[in-house]
Amino acid sequence: MARKTPSNLRSGPHPHADTPREEATESAEVLPSYSDAELERSLSTLIGEDASMDGSNVSIHVADGVAELSGEVSTDGEVERAEEVALSLPGITAVRNALIVRSGSH
């Protein structure tokens, strides 16, 4: 019994619809699976290299694809930016953002 192909993978009728064929795998639809440790390292690098924020006091922990951010940043914009960066990383499904703005910072 052939498995059904998700409708978003179809681009129209197959030219050989009556001919048996093997299922095609499209790499664009198959996301690689990353371990929490790999996600943690990647996110740490992304936040550390982001020119719009100082990520030197940001701690990152990833569990089951959920990124937990803690520590201190200089502005509310940096709090938001850290969350945006985390959510942009494939494999991160949610963010718990516990970052705080350093007292005395604006």
pLDDT in tens, the chain (106 residues): 444 433 333 333 444 444 444 444 454 556 678 999 999 999 999 999 999 999 999 999 999 999 999 999 999 999 999 999 999 999 999 999 999 999 875 5
**Domain of residue 68, residue span:** 36-101
Quote the CA–CA distance of 64 and 35 in Å, as a whole number: 8
What is the model's pLDDT at position 103? 83
CATH number at residue 65: 3.30.1340.30
Helix 76-88 and helix 36-49, axial crossing angle in degrees, nearest 10: 140
What is the model's pLDDT at position 30? 63
- Residue 44 placed within a domain: yes
- Residue 10 placed within a domain: no
What is the model's pLDDT at position 104? 73
Torsion of CA 56, 80, 28, 45, to 10 degrees: 0
- If one counts the domains in the chain, the total is 1
- Residue 26 placed within a domain: no
What is the model's pLDDT at position 98? 98
pTM over 0.75: no
- Residue 92 placed within a domain: yes
Pairing of strands 66-73, 58-63: antiparallel
